Structure 1
Amino acid sequence: MKTNKNTYKIKLGIFVTIGIVILFVILFFIGSNQNLFSSKFEINTNFKNVSGLQIGGQVRFSGISVGTIEGISIINDSTVNVMASIDNDVKKFIKKDSKASIASEGVIGDKILTISQGSTKSPEVKDGATIKSFEPVEFDAILNSVKVTAENAEVITHELASLLSSVNNGEGTIGKLMNDEGMAEDLDKTMTNLRKSSKGLEENMEAAKHNFLLRGYFKNKEKEKEKLAKEKEKEAKEQAEKNKK
């Protein structure tokens, strides 16, 4: 009887010991994942909207998990404070001009806090300091923007289709111009007359140049052009000589 009791106690002791070991292993992995066993420092940042960020969420720097969200509190009606606990090993890499932003793990993943790299000349952030932030872009706002763009595109497409239909049916000024052969012929005649008038004007100007009353005027104009051309040529040569020197 005593032997059975001793065997039972031994088995119970072994079971309890294994349970304790498993518990410690689980705590170790959880602590390692949450960085509970390394020295920490705290930083704060403020947002107008934390977009679903939760306490216990990850903090990432350069794509690496460096801490966790320890607190989220409402300061006033337009400001929400986020307090993050970060590994002390990365403190020297986070600068005063680093900025915090809220991102998602994947398209619809959990919200995380990301910290950007600051400038190399800026001093490192101090424990408990507050850094600036970028406001997150709301997914609903993106969907609304896409919806408005799609609606506008639909309206434009409808208007273009109506316009092309009117043109094909000979409606409106453009439709009449494209489908009315008489109007097209009149337009062609008008262009022909304009070309003839332009040619006649050139002939009249050429005749005026040979008129003894206007000949002096045109000669003076030609002399002025030649003089201006010579001055420009002279300036170009002087500039070329200066560049050589």
Structure 2
Amino acid sequence: MSATENKRSIVVGIFIFIGLAIFIAAVLTLGGKQKRFVSSITLKAVFNNVNGIQAGNNIFFSGVKIGTVSKINFYGNAQVEVTMHIEEAAQKYIHKNSVAKQGSEGFIGNKMIEILPGQGDAPQVEDGDRINVATALGPEDIMKTLQANNKNILTITDDFKKVTTDMLAGKGTLGTLLADTVMAGRLRQMTINLENASASTARVTSAVAQYTSKLNTKGTLTNELLTDTTVFASLKTAVKSLQNTAASASEMTNNLKLTSNKLNSDKNAVGVLLNDEQTAAKLKNTVSNLESSTKKLDENMEALQHNFLLRGFFKKKAKAEAAAAKDQSHQDPK
């Protein structure tokens, strides 16, 4: 074999080796994306319409890719059974009451199937189980919904057009507000009044805040009354004393009033003495007679002292009084 042929064989061998390497890498890459080399289980779901889902489309669970669609077969009269290869690691998160739902990867992306987690404490799925499907809106359903929405929008537009026409014509409350200048003036005045009221409220609020700040200033009488329990107790005692004094003064006033009424009455001795002139004259005459009798009694006593029969008696009495006075002076020296 010549050197040229050997060189050609080596080049062909290199190209074949590179091709095999690229092929193996492509198989490994595609197999990794399709989860071909990962332990998996099989789940099935029956749809009324698969809407273009094909073998190889991805399966998602909570936004994470967990498998691919492996096979699509007709089922029953008009349904389609989809066989899905699911990673065995995701099996514990999928329960028997989970639901398969059709979707797409992005707004216009490839079709895919999303498995929604089930509710409650249902057991996890097993290899070969069939799970329920969620009803998806088809194009016809979407068109019906859009038509109903269009009708509603048209009705709302017609109603709004009628309302705005009546408003421009001056009908109704809003129309009156738009067309009546007097009403507009009243509203303007009302707004001014509200602004003035708001300003007054702000001033009152500021005054109240200033007053409360003074109440909170330590050392003032008001703050002591509000915060010092001792001052409050003393003030309470003083008020109670004032109440007792006022009650006593009131009782005294009533007594004085009763006494005054009795003094002005002629049904008692004092009232008779103060108000009856005849009785007063008699009392004056009686006092005058008593004075005369007392004077005469003094004269009689003086005469008895000089009488020879009683002179000794009065001398003994005088000596006894003198002796008693002398003894008293010795007992109480100055």
- Give the TM-score range, shorter chain: 0.5 to 0.7
Shift in Å, 1:28: 0.5
Shift in Å, 1:169: 5.0
Q: Deviations over 1:13-63 (max 9, x none)?
A: 111111111110111100101011122211111222222222211111121
Matched to 1:115, the amino acid is I
Matched to 2:21, the amino acid is V
> Which residue is equivalent to 1:206?
none
- 1:15 paired to 2:51: no
- 1:97 paired to 2:97: yes
What is the CA RMSD across the aligned residues, in angstroms? 2.8
Rounded to whole Å, the distance in 2 between the matches of 1:41 and 1:147 is 43
Matched to 2:106, the amino acid is G
Rounded to whole Å, the distance in 2 between the matches of 1:125 and 1:167 is 64
Q: Is contact 1:50-1:136 (8 Å) kept?
A: no
Distance 1:16 1:158, change over 3 A: same
Rounded to whole Å, the distance in 2 between the matches of 1:59 and 1:136 is 16
Matched to 1:76, the amino acid is G
Shift in Å, 1:144: 3.7
> Which residue is equivalent to 1:6?
6
Shift in Å, 1:139: 4.7
Matched to 1:99, the amino acid is V
Shift in Å, 1:142: 3.0
Rounded to whole Å, the distance in 2 between the matches of 1:72 and 1:38 is 21
Rounded to whole Å, the distance in 2 between the matches of 1:26 and 1:159 is 63
Rounded to whole Å, the distance in 2 between the matches of 1:167 and 1:29 is 69
**Structure-1-length-normalised TM-score:** 0.63
Q: Is contact 1:44-1:129 (8 Å) kept?
A: yes
> Which residue is equivalent to 1:71?
71
Rounded to whole Å, the distance in 2 between the matches of 1:91 and 1:162 is 60
Matched to 1:47, the amino acid is F
> Which residue is equivalent to 1:26?
26
Greater share of helix residues, 1 or 2? 2
**Structure-2-length-normalised TM-score:** 0.47
> Which residue is equivalent to 2:48?
48
> Which residue is equivalent to 2:39?
39
Q: How does 1:1-245 map to 2 (within 5 A)?
A: 2-119=2-119, 121-162=121-162, 164-165=164-165, 169=169
SS in 2 for 1:129: coil
Question: How many correspondences in the alignment?
Answer: 177
Q: Deviations over 1:111-154 (max 9, x none)?
A: 11111223473222111111111011235533442343133222
Q: Deviations over 1:186-218 (max 9, x none)?
A: xxxxxxxxxxxxxxxxxxxxxxxxxxxxxxxxx
SS in 1 for 2:35: coil
Matched to 1:74, the amino acid is F
Rounded to whole Å, the distance in 2 between the matches of 1:5 and 1:120 is 73
Matched to 1:113, the amino acid is I
Give ranges in structure 1 of 5+ residues lacking alignment: 179-245
Matched to 1:132, the amino acid is N
Percent identity over paired residues: 29
Distance 1:78 1:15, change over 3 A: closer
Matched to 2:92, the amino acid is K
Shift in Å, 1:99: 1.2
> Which residue is equivalent to 1:240?
none
Greater share of strand residues, 1 or 2? 1
Rounded to whole Å, the distance in 2 between the matches of 1:115 and 1:169 is 59
Distance 1:19 1:48, change over 3 A: same
Rounded to whole Å, the distance in 2 between the matches of 1:4 and 1:95 is 67
Name which one, 1 or 2, has greater alpha-carbon Rg.
2
> Which residue is equivalent to 1:184?
none
Shift in Å, 1:163: 5.2
Which has the higher relative contact order, 1 or 2, with Cα contacts under 8 A spaced 6 or more apart? Answer: 1
Distance 1:168 1:22, change over 3 A: closer
Rounded to whole Å, the distance in 1 between the matches of 2:96 and 2:104 is 24
> Which residue is equivalent to 1:192?
none
